[in-house]
């Protein structure tokens, strides 16, 4: 019986997530474990799940000899040293979409609470007073909201506020124009324009050097008098000192905050302001969101341990689930193409060029190139190379990598991937495509036209193109009870060297290879495994 891989869950996740893990893995629940204690045991585990307390740093990763994946049950990854994980081929996954709905809804809740004075009205009623004249609010209908960051949460907020009859502006220099159109938001080129035109401003960006304090004193100087602001993203994106000053001066009429520059934040002077709704960073804290976080991180960890690609992995190119489904056959094809070179030629590689033509050129091909590099390196590095570190290993070996895109190819294929591998004194070109049912086919190798269906055991044989060569070759295989499943022959010209490819049903050992090489007319025999 195969021994289960082991995961240590160092911080609490939902019961549903734990149960999903237990169906597949050996689960060790260590909720609240101290950093030093985890250091002592981490070498025994294939996977680690954390939230925000445990530091997944160089010290921990250096001891985690078996570690393949770190799962962050949540969105932020401030506690994980991603470059160190990448160098070791450790995949880092998180759950950026699991709390999206909850965070978007909390944004709307804080916005409505602040503009309708709900917290203050609640306190007054509970104190025994009744005076509604103190709590006159404003409507959303017909107003303009400026959304800073049109990612997962920002786009949900956009659609929800549009349903209130609001005009939606958005500022996000890293989002395509198509996404603005998709969510009904008018794109503004500069943050300053958004601030000037907006009656309401809500921020939905990660916390980076670029975004810290991006809504500050300078922005409040140019804002409409009576503007209202909300921050359910990360503390510090709206500068708290500048916000306090702007509220005291009447520039900002109300605010809703779920996040703060310092957390926990007891005694924060911002809590003393009127017309502000505040919550203790609980925007994602719903029953549904926490269940989704637990189940999602469990499924992502399991998929990673199975060697599958995971959508939204932190240290891989970002892929949405639908993109991954579309790309997966191309990833398989590219990896198999990559495996060909070092099994046919052992010369060190100087440069790799991957060209995409046809419909595949319209896709995000970065992950396909990484898949080719993974296949290229596996025959010489083995399990140490994976999707996470393939590009980094290639770079450290001094191999230059380039990718090109073409609308069409001159071979008539709807989709074609062509890889050119350059060494000091050699050059090899390998091309592949997908069949109508999206199965991989290698259609040329070393200048030979082929129709190769990659299987586990294959022989690539170069031979003189003349009668009396293929028959004796097949006879030797028959002597060793090696069955030929498929066979193809490609040649450049009559009487020249041809390429024979054979799919066989069993492994071909060195003794058989040596016998095959002795056959008259055979110039090269290579075992290729996919």
Surface-to-core class of residue 155, CB atoms within 10 Å of its CB (0-12 exposed, 13-18 middle, 19+ buried): buried
Surface-to-core class of residue 410, CB atoms within 10 Å of its CB (0-12 exposed, 13-18 middle, 19+ buried): exposed
Which residues are the active-site residues?
234, 263, 281
Strand 200-203's sheet: what is its strand order? 186-187, 167-171, 144-148, 200-203, 227-231, 252-257, 276-278
CA distances from 463 to 207, 522, 523 (A): 61, 4, 5
Query: For each of the chain's 530 residues, which pLDDT tens digit applies?
Result: 468 999 999 999 999 999 999 999 999 999 999 999 999 999 999 999 999 899 999 999 999 999 999 999 987 788 999 999 999 999 999 998 888 999 999 999 999 999 999 999 999 999 999 999 999 999 999 999 999 999 889 999 999 999 999 999 999 998 888 889 989 999 999 999 999 999 999 999 988 889 999 999 999 999 999 999 999 999 999 999 999 999 999 999 999 999 999 999 999 999 999 899 999 999 988 999 999 999 999 999 999 999 888 887 899 887 777 788 889 999 999 999 999 999 999 899 999 999 999 999 998 899 999 999 999 999 988 767 889 999 999 998 999 999 999 988 878 899 999 999 999 888 999 999 999 999 999 999 999 999 999 999 999 999 999 999 999 999 999 999 999 999 999 988 888 999 999 999 999 999 999 999 999 999 999 999 99
| H helix and E strand count, the chain | 17, 22
Q: What is the pTM of this model?
A: 0.69
Contact assessment for residue 375 and residue 393, using Cβ atoms and an 8 Å cutoff: no
DSSP string, 452-468: E---SEEEEEEEESSTT
> What are the tens digits of pLDDT across the range 418-472?
999 999 888 999 999 999 999 999 999 999 999 999 999 999 999 999 999 999 9
Domains of the chain: 6-96+289-305 (3.40.50.720), 100-278 (3.40.50.720), 318-453 (3.30.1330.90), 455-530 (3.30.70.260)
Contact assessment for residue 424 and residue 349, using Cβ atoms and an 8 Å cutoff: no
CB atoms within 10 A of CB 438: 13
């Amino acid at each position: 019986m195969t021994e289960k891989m082991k995961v240590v869950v160092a911080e609490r996740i939902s019961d549903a997530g734990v149960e999903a893990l237990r169906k597949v893995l050996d689960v060790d629940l260590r909720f609240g474990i101290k950093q030093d204690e985890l250091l002592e045991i981490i070498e025994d585990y294939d996977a680690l799940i954390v939230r925000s307390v445990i530091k997944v740093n160089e010290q921990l990763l250096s001891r985690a000899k078996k570690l393949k994946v770190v799962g962050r049950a949540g969105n932020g990854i401030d506690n994980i040293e991603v470059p160190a994980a990448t160098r070791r081929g450790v995949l880092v996954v998180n759950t950026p979409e699991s709390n999206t709905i909850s965070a978007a809804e909390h944004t709307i809740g804080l916005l409505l609470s602040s503009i309708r004075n709900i917290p203050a009205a609640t306190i007054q009623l509970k104190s025994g007073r009744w005076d509604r004249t103190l709590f006159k609010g404003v409507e959303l209908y017909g107003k303009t909201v400026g959304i800073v960051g049109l990612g997962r949460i920002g786009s949900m907020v956009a659609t929800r506020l549009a349903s209130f009859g609001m005009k939606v502006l958005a500022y996000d220099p890293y989002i395509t124009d198509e996404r603005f159109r998709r969510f009904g938001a008018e794109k503004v080129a500069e943050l300053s324009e958004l601030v000037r035109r907006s009656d309401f401003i809500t921020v939905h960006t990660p916390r980076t050097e670029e975004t810290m304090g991006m809504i500050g004193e300078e922005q409040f100087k140019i804002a409409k008098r009576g503007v209202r602001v909300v921050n359910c993203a990360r503390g510090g994106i709206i500068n708290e000192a500048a916000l306090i000053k702007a509220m005291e001066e009447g520039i900002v009429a109300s605010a809703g905050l779920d996040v703060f520059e310092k957390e926990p934040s007891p005694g924060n002077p911002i809590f003393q302001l009127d017309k502000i709704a505040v919550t203790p960073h609980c925007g994602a804290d719903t029953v549904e969101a926490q269940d989704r976080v637990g189940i999602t991180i469990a499924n992502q960890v399991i998929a990673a341990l199975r060697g599958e690609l995971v959508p939204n992995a932190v240290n891989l190119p970002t892929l949405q689930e639908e993109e991954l489904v579309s790309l997966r056959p191309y990833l398989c094809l590219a990896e198999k193409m990559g495996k060909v070179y070092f099994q046919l030629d052992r010369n060190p590689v100087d440069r790799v060029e991957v060209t995409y033509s046809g419909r595949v050129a319209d896709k995000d091909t970065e992950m396909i190139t990484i898949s080719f590099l993974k296949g290229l390196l596996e025959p010489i590095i083995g399990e140490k190379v994976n999707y996470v570190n393939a590009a980094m290993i290639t770079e450290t070996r001094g191999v230059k990598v380039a990718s090109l895109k073409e609308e069409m190819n001159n071979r008539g294929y709807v989709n074609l991937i062509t890889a050119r591998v350059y060494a000091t004194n050699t050059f090899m070109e390998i091309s592949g495509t997908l069949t109508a049912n999206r199965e991989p086919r290698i259609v040329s190798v070393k200048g030979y036209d082929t129709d190769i269906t990659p299987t586990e055991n294959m022989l690539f044989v170069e031979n003189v193109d003349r009668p009396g060569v293929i028959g004796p070759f097949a006879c030797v295989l028959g002597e060793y009870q090696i069955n030929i499943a498929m066979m193809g022959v490609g040649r450049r010209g009559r009487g020249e060297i041809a390429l024979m490819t054979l799919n066989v049903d069993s492994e071909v050992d060195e003794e058989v290879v040596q016998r095959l090489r002795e056959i008259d007319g055979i110039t090269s025999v290579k075992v290729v495994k996919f």
